[in-house]
Amino acid sequence: MSLEKAVLELRDRQGRLLESLQSLRLAVAEDKPPRPDIALVDQRCAVVDDLIGWAEEARGAGDDGVAASRRPIDLDSARAALIKSQEAFNLLSHSFTEHLVSYDAMAELTALGMERGRNWHAWVIAVRSALQECQQPIYEVNQALFACWREMAERAGMNSVNVKTTAIGQKISMPRKKQVAREGRI
C-alpha cells in the first residue's frame, strides 16, 4: 500500500466516524423525551460535542495529509498531519471510552432510563444503540492510523542507509606438541 492510499483510507474512515458521532449526537440531544433538562443528558451532549470537534479536527488533518502525500510527497507535512490526526483521535477515543461507554457511564444511563419511565427507557436504548454504532468506526480509524504510520516508517526506511559492522578478531592458536618437538623447541 502506498502512503497516499493509506492516508486516503484514513480520511474515508474518519468521515464514517464523524457520521456515526453525528448520529449519536442526534440520539442523545434531539431524541430525548420532552422533559426538564437533566444534568446527565447535558453532560453526555457536551462529551459528544467534544468528540465531534476532535473528529472534525482529525478529518481536517487527514485532508492535509492527503495533499502532502501526493507526488511530490512532502514527508514533513504528511508526518505533521498524521501527528495532528493521531492526537485528536487519541483524545476522542479516550473520552468516548471514559465518559460514554465505561461501566459507570453505562450504569448511570441505565439508571436514568429505569427512574424516568418508558419514554426515557426508550431513549436509553436508542443512545446505547448509537454508542454501539460508533465502536466499529473508532476501531477502523485506529487501524487506518496504524497503516499510515507503517507506510511512513517504511518510507523513512527506504531513504536511510544501514551500516552493519562485524568484528573479525585475530585467531590465535597454540602449536601442537609434535610440531614444537620437531622444531626442537622442547
Q: Is the pTM of this model over 0.85?
A: no
Grid cell for residue 13? 474512515
Q: What is the pLDDT of residues 30-44, one digit of tens each?
A: 888 887 678 999 999
Q: What is the mean pLDDT of residues 45-66?
A: 96
With beta carbons less than 8 A apart as the criterion, state whether 133 and 23 touch.
yes
> Locate cell 465531534: which residue?
52
Statement: 3-182 belongs to CATH 1.20.120.230: yes
Q: What is the pLDDT of residues 165-174, one digit of tens each?
A: 666 667 676 6
Q: So where are the chain's domains?
A: 3-182
Q: What is the pLDDT of residues 154-166, one digit of tens each?
A: 887 776 555 666 6
Least confident of 35-39, 53-57, 136-140: 35-39
